[in-house]
Structure 1
Amino acid sequence: MRRLLVATLATALTLAGTGAAAQAHRQAAPAPGAPGIGDSYYPDYGNSGYDVSHYDIRLRYTPSTDKLTGTTTILATATTDLSRLNLDFVLDVSSIQVNNRPATFAREGDHELVVTPARTVAKGGALTIVVQYSGVPSSKVAAGYTAWIRTPDGAAAVGEPEIAWWWYPSNDHPSDKATFDVSVSVPDGVEAISNGVQPRPPVRETLGYTRWSWRSLKPQATYLTFLTVGQYDITTDTTADGSTVYNAYSQLLPQDFRDAAQASVERTAEITDWESTVFGPFPFEARGGVVTPPGTLGFALENQTRPNYSSGFFRRGSNPYVIAHENAHQWFGDSVSVESWQNIWLNEGFASYAEWLWSEKNDEGTAQEIFDYLYATYPDDAAVWTTAPADPGVAELFGDAVYDRGAMTLHQLRLAVGDDAFFAIIRTWVAQHKYGNATTAQFTALAEQVSGKDLDALFQAWLYSPSKPVLASSLARTLNVPAAPKSLAKISETHELLNGR
């Protein structure tokens, strides 16, 4: 009887264990990644379920027809047991392979490409995704517009927050950075310029095409990866720290624009060397800039290692302020990127304050004088005051509150903690989050940690309140409008174009 009871108990335990195992198996069954990475402003941008480590983008582009064909290979790791994944992309896809097996795919919405591998991929498993595609990028509309810009002699794939969709498939969100190889074949006599360094010189191919190759050695956000095609004059140099300097000027620039542009962009190494003394060592392997043809690009963008500039920044002469602004982004936005788009002031406020510091360095107006002028001249009901920089909303993502009030916030922080603590905060911020992502909450916590001060009231007034902060009486300078510092004309002109006005 005892033996029978023991056997019965063992059978029951075995069955119970089998049931538990089956339940655990059911709970761990592979699931599809979501068609969004969780950004509160852009819920369907980026994708969950995998983390990209590298993009290999191989293209052929014909400017006369705007025809682009390509193969992009994506190296990634599954972050969950993955049965399906999404890519952000709008061109026409002919085939997709996942881990060397054909995958099925379908369109969903205006930019989602839903991919089902032949076999599920276990959490931590490697993903090699190969996408072959073609199309006319300028004919594709997503998010209500076409980000791909045709120029008289080529094209510019330059934009924020969307641009990758029109030329390579990706996990399109700043929180998933990767390294890049970009290789582009274009007609002879046409240049194809991208980020980073050239692992080899341009190579002549058959049928009148030349292949240009570029490599980004540090983690890079998708929107900071650019492609500019056209006829460009190129200058190169090497800095004292070994960085490659590569500048390009459209051959379509009128001579006066060209002279002013070159007088500005050729100072990139000088300006970034100075910024390195303020923010910490330059974070990337290359520097430079690209000036596009007149009437094509209506803004500047801080593409990693090589910003692109509208020729409009130089219509009234040289403009080192836009060079200081865009290259400050190499630290603030490119190396330290936003965790979500809500935190965009961490990019633009810092880059704008870099202009103030450049003005101060060159005796064209102190940061305090610039602050006083802006504080006094913005009307009380202006969007700069009615928008909270820490949560500007999509409509004001690139508005005055993000740029000017963001810079004003930093100046108030500087006054509150003193120069030594302020610049220690900035350098520590850059060092702690190098090549990663960060949030406003992390910055404000760091500021309090380094300074040893309670800064809640300051940040609440300047970052979170949708109203004009009240200055302490000892700081108020609003009875009379102060004279504009000499730098204000260039800074204002720069910001008008940066904001697309």
Structure 2
Amino acid sequence: MRSRTRAGAGVLAAGVASVLLATTASAAPEPGAPGAGDPYYPNAGNGGTDVLHYDIRLSYQPETDLLSGTTTLLLTATQDLSRFDLDFALKASSVLVNNRPAQFTNSDGNGELVVTPAEALAKGQTATVVVKYSDTPSTEQVDGLNGWKHGDFGALGVDEPQSAQWWFPSNDHPTDKATFDVSIEAPDGLSAITNGSLVRTTKSRAGWTRWNWRSTHPQATYLTSFIVGKYDVRQSTTPEGKPFITAYGTDLGDSRGAAEASVERTPEINAFLASQFGPYPFEAEGGVVTSGISFSLENQTRPTYGLKNFTSGANTTLIAHENAHQWYGDNVSLGRWSDIWLNEGFASYAEWLWSEHEGEGTVAELAQYTYDSNAADADLWKVVPADPGADNQFDSAVYDRGALTLQALRTTVGDDAFFTILKDWQVEKAGKDGRIQEFIALAEKVSGKPLHELFQTWLYTAGKPAAGPNGAAAARTAHAAAAKPKSWDQIQANHRLLATEHRH
């Protein structure tokens, strides 16, 4: 017995030793992945890190397009890391990790700054990463593209799905949100605008002024804006007491009045949207109108609007669209870029809600007119909103057919369940990201109805659905007396600009 016991103990000890060796081997630090695993944009985001906060301190001279400064990232390692990537198109001059010089390789056109710390990072370890740089963003490309805008208007770091990498190193994917402090020094007479609350402006040195901003809620990197140029900046508060900051380029010309008549109504519009979606999710509100872009983007707390959107007059449906994104896209971000319907379909539906509120066509009328105006062979039905592909990510189908999907859902489950679903999505996913299948599961849970066939028809299948968004009987009734809703042309114009002007 003893001899067998000793033999068994030896076998057990050998087994334990091999397990320990295997554990030790598997725990060896490894490089983080160069992307977050998004099929549309394989290099977007990074593996192995979770960024908690960005402190960005920059100086920018529009005349030369020279951007200089330091970004400090506070991050946590999500695996044992021998090295990690940051998404960054500019040339870094030095990198510190936990106060020690790190080796690094600058982007070679792929947008990846590869950092090898002096000591590997253990899973769960926090790290302070300091990146210093000085470069001209307009000269740097990623995969043959440049998302930086530079011209007589100044400069804009505003675009979708990526823009951050042309002005700060980051984990550039919506699944890694963080808080931000952004400090931008610009020549006197220019404004430097970004997200959140304006903490202070100071005279930094002769001929220069520094603008310091803070965003206290989780924020995706592509929603973080860089805007420097000649702007008239207005500061006030909303009726709820939140900072309300708007800015208008001094070169807006005859459209300045229309822009102000739209953007200055933001608190009113957000109050209405809050009645539909739940409380406004952030600490500040506002908007910026610029001649530097044609499209508009839902930058968190302060959307950026292209001047072209106001050349025909006031455009409050656009304000409703971009601010609806504060809920759908900003507070709850998409989990993958193929989930873009969760952003654009909902914001487009908000335009219909606002139009009804303004007496310019009910949601049912706008939905029915959109459905009837697109024949069975129309382009609207050729792209599948649930997975449009990177090349069609901003196709009008994602906007218009996406909104039709929500109206079909509302028709099926009823108003009470529909608006409960919209609000519960905000509560369950606040500050996080979500996937389409998760939204469908929530809709079935709240409504108590099987909805697979509905979503399969409207979101996942090419071709015009046989029944309209208001149901078959309602479709015939609405079609018989259909008149084009007053806001329909403006909404379609908005969507054409939104769908065609992004980088991808």
TM-score over 0.5 for the alignment?
A: yes
In 1, the alpha carbon distance for the partners of 2:456 and 2:9 equals 64
Who is 1:499 aligned against? 499
Within 5 Å, give how 1:144-159 maps onto structure 2: 144-159=144-159
Task: List, as ranges, runs of 4+ consecutive aligned residues in structure 1 with deviation greater than 6 Å.
Answer: 4-9, 478-481
Q: What is the match of residue 383 of structure 1? A: 379
Cα distance in structure 1, aligned partners of 2:448 and 2:242: 37
Task: Give the residue type in structure 2 aligned to 1:194.
Answer: T
CA distance in 2, matches of 1:25, 1:381: 60
Structure 2 matches for 1:348-387, cutoff 5 A?
Answer: 348-387=344-383
Match of 1:421 in 2: 417
Q: Aligned-pair distance for 1:474?
A: 1.2
Is the counterpart of residue 268 in structure 1 residue 266 in structure 2?
A: yes
The alpha-carbon distance between structure 1 residues 476 and 6, as it changes in their structure 2 partners (threshold 3 A), is closer
Distance 2:67 2:464 in 1: 49
How many angstroms does 1:431 deviate by?
Answer: 1.1
Deviation at 1:369, TM superposition (A): 1.1
Question: Residues 93-108 of structure 1: matches in 2 within 5 Å?
Answer: 93-106=92-105, 107=107
Q: Structure 1's 6 and 426: CA in aligned 2 closer, same or farther, altered over 3 A? A: closer
* Residues 286 and 302 in structure 2, CA contact (< 8 A), matched pair in contact too: yes
Equivalent runs, 1:479-494 vs 2, <5 Å:
482-494=482-494
**1-side partners of 2:218 and 2:148: how far apart?**
23
Q: Distance in 1 between matches of 2:494 and 2:241?
A: 30
Verify: 1:331 aligned to 2:330, yes or no.
no
Q: Find the residue that maps to 2:497 and give its secondary structure.
A: helix
Q: Write the distance in 1 (CA, Å) between the matches of 2:345 and 2:89.
A: 32
Aligned pairs (5 A) from 1:67-78? 67-78=66-77
Q: What amino acid sits opposite 1:161 in the alignment?
A: P
Q: Say which SS state the counterpart of residue 257 (structure 2) adopts.
A: helix
Distance in 1 between the 2:428 and 2:166 partners?
A: 33
Q: CA deviation at 1:430?
A: 1.0
Give a deviation string over 1:215-255, Cα, whole Å, max 9, x none: 1000000000001100111112112322110000001110x
Shift of 1:383: 2.7
Q: 2:454 aligns with which of 448, 458, 468?
A: 458
Distance 1:18 1:319, change over 3 A: same
Deviation at 1:154, TM superposition (A): 1.3
- Aligned residues: percent identity? 53
SS state at 2:328 partner: coil
Could you tell me which residue of structure 2 aligns to residue 317 of structure 1?
Answer: 313
Shift, 1:476, TM fit: 3.3
Distance 1:18 1:455, change over 3 A: closer
Cα pair 2:45 2:172 within 8 Å, conserved: yes
Judge conservation of contact 1:95–1:102 (CA < 8 Å) in 2: yes
RMSD, matched Cα: 1.8
Matched, 1:189 2:189: yes
* Deviations, residues 379-419 of structure 1 (Å, cap 9, x unaligned): 32223201111011111100111100000000011111111
Q: Distance in 1 between matches of 2:188 and 2:409?
A: 53
Deviations 1:13-67 (A, max 9, x none): 5455333322210111111100011112112211010101000111000010000
Task: Name the counterpart of 1:26.
Answer: 25
In structure 1, the residue corresponding to 2:483 is in which secondary structure? coil
Q: How far apart in 2 are the matches of 1:143 and 1:379?
A: 37
From 318, 330, 338, the counterpart of 1:342: 338
1:86–1:113 CA contact under 8 A, matched in 2: yes
Does 377-386 or 218-227 show the bigger shift? Answer: 377-386
TM-score in terms of structure 1 length? 0.96
CA distance in 1, matches of 2:403, 2:455: 13
| Gaps in structure 1 of 5+ consecutive residues | none
In 1, distance between residues paired with 2:359 and 2:277?
Answer: 20
1:90-124 Cα shifts (integer Å, max 9, x gaps): 11111111111111111455211111111011100
Establish whether residue 122 from structure 1 lines up as the match of residue 122 from structure 2. Answer: yes
Q: Residues 209 and 384 of structure 1: is their aligned pair in 2 closer, same or farther, counting only changes over 3 Å?
A: same
User: 2: CA distance between counterparts of 1:6 and 1:319?
Assistant: 85
- CA–CA separation in structure 1 for the residues paired with 2:187 and 2:350: 39
> Which deviates further from its counterpart, 144-153 or 176-185?
144-153
CA distance in 1, matches of 2:60, 2:81: 34
**1:171 and 2:171 correspond:** yes
Find the aligned partners of 2:318 and 2:12 in 1 and give their Cα distance. Answer: 72
Does the residue aligned with 1:156 lie in a helix, a strand or coil? strand
Does structure 1 retain, via aligned residues, the 8 Å contact 2:75–2:127? Answer: yes
Q: What's the offset of the Cα at 1:153?
A: 3.9
Aligned to 1:17: 16
**Paired residue type of 1:438:** G
Residues 373 and 481 in structure 1, CA contact (< 8 A), matched pair in contact too: no
Q: Which amino acid aligns with 2:76?
A: T
Aligned partner letter, 1:437: D
Residues 376 and 481 of structure 1 are in contact (CA less than 8 Å); yes or no, is this contact kept in structure 2? no
Do 2:177 and 2:219's aligned partners in 1 also have CA atoms closer than 8 Å?
A: yes
CA distance, structure 2, for counterparts of residue 249 and residue 289 of structure 1: 9
C-alpha distance in structure 2 between counterparts of 1:14 and 1:439, whole Å: 47
Contact 2:148 2:163 in 1 (8 A): yes
- Shift in Å at residue 364 of structure 1? 0.5
The separation in 1 between residues aligned to 2:9 and 2:407, in whole angstroms, is 73
2:284 aligned residue: 286
What's the secondary structure of 1:202's corresponding residue?
Answer: strand
Residue in 2 that maps onto 1:230: 229
Asked if structure 2 preserves the Cα contact closer than 8 Å seen for 1:108 and 1:114, the reply is no
- Determine helix, strand or coil for the equivalent of 1:464: coil
Query: In the alignment, is the contact (CA less than 8 A) between 1:99 and 1:128 conserved in 2?
Result: yes
Q: Distance in 2 between matches of 1:332 and 1:376?
A: 27
Tell me the TM-score normalised to structure 2 length: 0.95
Q: Which residue pairs with 1:143 in the alignment? A: 143
Unaligned runs of 5+ in 2: none
Amino acid at match of 1:281: P
Letter in 1 for 2:421: I
Note closer, same or farther for the CA distance 1:209–1:20 as it changes in structure 2 (3 Å cut): same
| Contact 2:294–2:309 (Cα < 8 Å) also in 1 | no
What is the DSSP-based 3-state SS (H/G/I as helix, E as strand, rest coil) of the residue aligned with 1:484? coil
Q: Is contact 2:396-2:496 (8 Å) kept?
A: no
Distance 2:157 2:369 in 1: 37
2:139 partner letter: S
What is the alpha-carbon distance in structure 2 between the residues aligned to residue 24 and residue 142 of structure 1? 39
8 Å contact 2:234–2:246 — kept in the other structure?
yes
The 3 A distance-change label for structure 1 pair 8 and 465 is closer
Which of 478-487 and 88-97 deviates more? 478-487
